[in-house]
Every structure is written in C-alpha cells, then in structure tokens.
Amino acid sequence: MTDFFKDQQPLRFDPQGTDLCFRHYNPDEILMGKRMEDHLRFAVAYWHSFAWPGGDPFGSQTFDRPWFGETMDLARLKADVAFEMFEILNVPFFCWHDADIRPEGSTFAESRRNFEEIIDYLQGKMESSKTRLLWGTANMFSHRRFMSGAATNPDPEIFAWSAATVKLCLDATQKLGGQNYVLWGGREGYETLLNTDLKRERQQAGRFLQMVVDYKHKIGFEGAILVEPKPQEPSKHQYDYDVATVYGFLKEFGLENEVKMNIEQGHAILAGHSFEHELALASSLGILGSIDMNRNDYQSGWDTDQFPNNVPEVALAYYEVLKAGGFTTGGTNFDAKLRRQSLDPVDLIAAHAGAMDICARGLKAAASMLDDGSLETMREERYAGWNSPAAVKMLSGDLESAAARIEDESLDPQPRSGRQEILENIVNRFV
Ligand code: XUL
Ligand code: CO
C-alpha cells in the first residue's frame, strides 16, 4: 500500500450519504435487465489522472505527485497508486497510452523495454484486481518527433516509428486482455495548407489504418479497433474531424466493417455537434464503439476535458447508447482532467465519484424514457406514413413514378407539428 490516499476506504453506495460516497451509482441495480455496472462500464484514464501535471498555456505544473519523474521505480509507484484508486472507486476498467505508463527511453528499444516491463507489472496488478483494460492506445502527439504527424508525417521514418509504436501497444493491449484499441489522430492534420500535401497525407493515414487492421487479424486480437474523431486541436485541422468524416474515410479505404468509433463529448461539441448527434449518427452507421464522457466549458472554445456535470446532457447521450443496444466491447471512459487548482488526492476521488453518479442519473433517466415509451411512440407516429404500401413501393421505384403520384392520387399533403416542446416536456419528466 502507498500512503497517497491515506486511509480512504472503498466508496459505498448510500443514497442518503453526505460524505464521499455514491448516491446514484449502484453497480448491482438492474436496469432494462442488466446491472448498472455492465451498462456503464466506467474506465479511469491513466493520462489525465496520473500523468498530467496540471499545466495550462499560461503556467506549468500545479500537481505535486510523488510518482512524477522518469524512472521505472516511479512508474511502478504510479501504477500502485492507480490500482489503489481503482479499488476505492470499484471501477471495472482503465485505459492508457504507452507514454502514460512508462518512462521515455533515449532510444526506441529502451522505451520498448521500459514499456514491456511496466506491462508485465500491470498484468501482475490485474491478477489481484477486478479492474480490466477497456483500451490501450499510443501517444503519437506529445513528443516533438510527432510534431508534423505520425502516419501522416512528411518523413517516412516517422511512419515507421508510428508503425513500431502501434504494433507494440496493440501487442500489449492484447496481452492485458484489452477490449478495444483506440487511435486518436493527435497530430494527423495540418497547420497550413501551404506546406501540406493533403491528398498524400490522407492516403498515408488510410494505408496505416489498413495495416493496423491487418495486424489485428494476424495476431488474433479479439477487441475492436476504434478511431476517435476530433475536429481541431492540436492541429488547426484534423483529418478525423467528426463521425461523418471518419465514416467517409473508412469507406474510402474499405474499413467500414473493421473499425468503429470512440466518441468524445467534448470533441463533438468542438465539431459543432451535440454529443447525441454523434452517437446517433454512429449508431445508424453501425460504428458506435465506445465513449469518452468528458465535456468542454461552453464559455471557452477549447477542449477543457471536464468531468461530466450535467445530467440532462448525459441522459440524452445514454438514451442513444441504450437505443443502440448498449455497449458491447465499449464503455464510458473519463478522459477528464481535474481543474488545475484541485491539488488534493481526495479531489481525484471526488471527481470520479461525482462523474459516476452523474452518469448513473443520466442512465436511469434514459432507461425510464425508453421504458415510458412516449418519445419513441411519437417518433414512430411521425414517420407512420412510410409504412403504407404506396410509400414502400415509391422508395423502390423511380423519380417519375414518385412524381406521378401527386396528380394520379390527387395528393394534398398538409404540414404537421413536429411537437418539439411536447417532446422536451416529456424528457423533462425524467431528468
Ligand atoms: C485528446 C483525447 C485523447 C484520446 C486518446 O483530445 O481525447 O486523450 O482520447 O488519445
Ligand atoms: Co478522448
């Protein structure tokens, strides 16, 4: 045991509790025939919780963690503390980038050895823990070698470096029984078209993803490969802009049945969408994989990665997840940072506990909305005309036969209310 969280005991579920506890997240509560824990599948993000020093563009480190530093002993201490927090939160999953868990070596081989040693250490820790790996990923955006991209870099040697990095991370994800592997194109974009061959860079990205998918099949990795869209930041323009853009990209490279999405609420907002829009679109395309449940501050235009704190928003997101049939390999990852003034160990626990409670409330509201059924009934009523034989026939016919219906059948369609306020009032009964 480390003494980082002092004598903090695992959090209890206590709906009336006033201390640090879960008031809504009850893992064993059954909703729609499934345990709450199995619906939500929470994951802690290693990077923000244990590797991020609290910097912002105007100031550097604010957190003073005993494991900060680039040695293997400190990397093991970080893992010890992480698993202590997983136990306090009773959280079923965690996620990492290679750079979060191991010190960077002076060569690729040294970084690889550090990484493999820590993966073995994590594997040992997982033997006495319930916490599984939701996904692994590679950090191909922080080190200066990736400043002009990873797979999309103008330098083919960086493409090779990226291949070596993803191969290593995918092998390790498989070794730890990870359920997904995520690719977020951190610097796969551009700053200025004046120095960028956009066509070539997109081809490189497509070929790289094909290689990753081929390798997944070669090693028999059973998890899902997920791409995480984001429109800008750190690049001015990112190639994986949003779900629609990535779907077009997957179709172009013949990967639409191989790759799904990890959708982050904050990224959806940056792209000018709502989270539920991105979820509904991915679901309709059959590519909804997993979610990063963290949002931005609506007054600042950047990715502030805050823990969820708004039940109605979260409810509408889980409504889409439940309608899509729920998560299979995916889950709810908190890709979320503490605020940089939240220095104390207890802040880390409180942030996750609060987020888990908010999500539990959102999930319960979403399940009640589905159970009530009025929203879906009203949606079906709105499209009921399309069930008529004439409408079904029209869709399989041609433009001329559709056009002929107007005069042949003397059609005189009348506008009908979209009933938005009534629908919003229904939602308001549950959130
Ligand atoms: C960055 C982001 C990443 C990915 C994993 O905005 O969301 O943390 O989730 O690389
Ligand atoms: Co993310």
Q: Are residues 100 and 182 in the same domain?
A: yes
264 CA distance to ligand 2 middle (Å): 6
Q: Which ligand is nearest to the CA of 263?
A: 2
CA 200–ligand 1 middle distance (angstroms): 24
- Atom 3, ligand 1: which residue's CA is nearest? 184
97 is catalytic: yes
Flag whether 1 is in a domain: no
The whole-angstrom separation of Cα 360 and Cα 237 is 35
Residue 183 lies in a domain: yes
Catalytic residue among 39, 97, 267, 273: 97
Q: For residue 303, what pLDDT is reported?
A: 87
Ligand 1: centre distance to CA 192 (Å): 22
Q: How does residue 302 score in pLDDT terms, banded at 50, 70 and 90?
A: confident
Q: Based on the domain organization, do 156 and 259 belong to the same domain?
A: yes
Average pLDDT over residues 206-233: 98
Which residue lies with its CA nearest to atom 7 of ligand 1?
335
Ligand 1 site residues, Cβ closer than 6 angstroms: 97, 137, 182, 184, 228, 230, 264, 292, 303, 335
Q: What is the 3-state secondary structure (H, E, C) of 313-370?
A: HHHHHHHHHHHCCCCCCCCEEECCCCCCCCCCHHHHHHHHHHHHHHHHHHHHHHHHHH
Whether residue 398 is found in the same domain as residue 252 = no
pLDDT (tens digit, 9 = 90+) per residue, 366-416? 999 999 999 999 999 999 999 999 999 999 999 999 999 999 999 999 999
- The answer to the question of residue 173 being in a domain is yes
Q: Name the residue of 142, 230, 290 to mutate for ligand 1: max ligand atoms within 8 A of Cβ.
A: 230
Alpha carbon distance 316, 334 (integer Å):
17
In which band, very low, low, confident or very high, does the pLDDT at 179 lie, cut at 50, 70 and 90? Answer: very high
Does the structure show a pLDDT above 90 at 300? Answer: no
Question: 403 and 300, same structural domain?
Answer: no
Nearest CA to ligand 1 atom 4: 184
pTM passes above 0.85: yes
Domain boundary among 372, 404, 420: 372
Ligand 1: residue of 101, 143, 226, 292 to mutate (most ligand atoms within 8 A of CB) is: 292
The domain containing residue 331 runs over which residues?
A: 30-372
Q: Is residue 401 located within the same domain as residue 267?
A: no
Could you report the per-residue pLDDT of 128-161, keeping only the tens digit for each? Answer: 999 999 999 999 999 999 999 999 999 999 999 9
Annotated catalytic residue: which of 48, 98, 100, 292? 100
What CATH number does residue 47 fall under?
3.20.20.150
Does residue 364 share a domain with residue 400? no
Number of domains in the chain: 2
Cα 29 from Cα 292, distance rounded (Å): 23
In a domain, 152, yes or no: yes
Q: Residue 228 Cα, ligand 2 centroid: separation in angstroms?
A: 7
123 and 249 part of one domain: yes
Same domain, residue pair 297 and 399: no
Same domain assignment for residues 353 and 395? no
pLDDT tier at 298 (50, 70, 90 boundaries)? confident
- Tell the residue number behind the tokens 């040697």, with chain if given: 157
Does residue 272 contact residue 300 with C-beta atoms inside 8 Å? Answer: no
Residues 120 and 83 in one domain: yes
